[in-house]
Amino acid sequence: MPFEIRYAHEPDRLVRGRALVPDSPTPRPWVLIVHGFKGFMDWGFFPELARRLAGRGIASVSFNASGSGIGADFETFTEERAFERDTLSRQLEDLEQVRAQALSGVLGQLDPARAGLFGHSRGGGIAILHAAEQGDYRALATWAAVSTFDRYDEATKQLWRREGRLRVHNARTGQDLYVGVQALDDLLQNRERLDITAACARLTTPALFVHGEVDESVPVSSLDALVAASDGARALRVPGAGHTFGARHPLASIPAELEQALEATAEWFELHLTRPRGSLSVSSAGERGSNLAQ
């Protein structure tokens, strides 16, 4: 089921999404899926994750953030101005709006008491912040999540301010995109709210952090920082896996590293969203792998 969310005070700001809800006479558990920087909801492994969840009776709600830059075809970067004016606070606002849409019932039969949250890369950091703020998600899983949004050196920040925007290259499409200086201002002005490790310390949601051991974009030290800041979070280090776990777009095949991440994550959500509270065992889903650590 496709859906759109528009902001009354900002008519050209638009969130596009899709809910995949398995047929059922009763409300389904569901997972809200958050893409990362230069990502989008139909990229590579996201649709496959939604299918895996559906196979276990779990619905999913995916969306392209209003500042993703992706247009109406759900595939192409045609909204470059929206990309340029995006900020982390706007991404959190989008996520809150999508959550509200899901809880309103208009996206199908979704059980408000059995909601999960998934994010990749920068979307993993956003998901952690959102989970800590809301406090009622039954499960959280991230892949290659950043442990801080402040990943720019001083020279880059000075150039960013001097030019009024920062150029970022999209290697997949060959496009040069730009991030406005308001994104840097937002990061500096909202340091407390946007502190990912501080949010980890406040988490009451069971969390699984998955990371490739040879991630070329977000070093595996980010995983260590997230786990150290959390109370009881699970960590899965995937040997040989990079930032996308071997996935490409479009996804033509599923490499072993991606398969491991997909199955561990689907099992994690099945464990926490489909079983009654209090029935979880120590030797639970995802914990059978030798690379899963507490």
Give pLDDT tens digits for 254-281. Answer: 999 999 999 999 999 999 999 766 554 4
Q: Which residue has the higher pLDDT, 287 or 111?
A: 111
Distance, in Å, from the CA atom of 113 to the CA atom of 116, rounded to the nearest integer, reads 10
Distance, in Å, from the CA atom of 61 to the CA atom of 201, rounded to the nearest integer, reads 26
Which domains, and CATH codes, for the chain?
2-150+193-293 (3.40.50.1820)
- pLDDT at residue 250 tops 50: yes
Average the pLDDT over 116-124 and give the result. Answer: 98
- Residue that has been written with the tokens 């999508």 in this structure: 98
Confidence class for position 206, pLDDT limits 50, 70, 90: very high
Cα→Cα distances 100→107, 123, 151, 279, Å:
10, 18, 31, 29
Confidence class for position 287, pLDDT limits 50, 70, 90: very low
Per residue in 168-205, pLDDT tens? Answer: 999 999 999 999 999 999 999 999 999 999 999 999 99
pLDDT value, residue 276: 67
Beta-sheet pairing, 292-293 with 165-170: unpaired
Distance, in Å, from the CA atom of 42 to the CA atom of 75, rounded to the nearest integer, reads 7
Cα→Cα distances 281→57, 79, 89, 141, 278, Å:
21, 47, 37, 18, 9
Percent of the chain topping pLDDT 70 = 94
* End-to-end CA gap in the chain: 37
CB 123 within 8 A of CB 36: yes
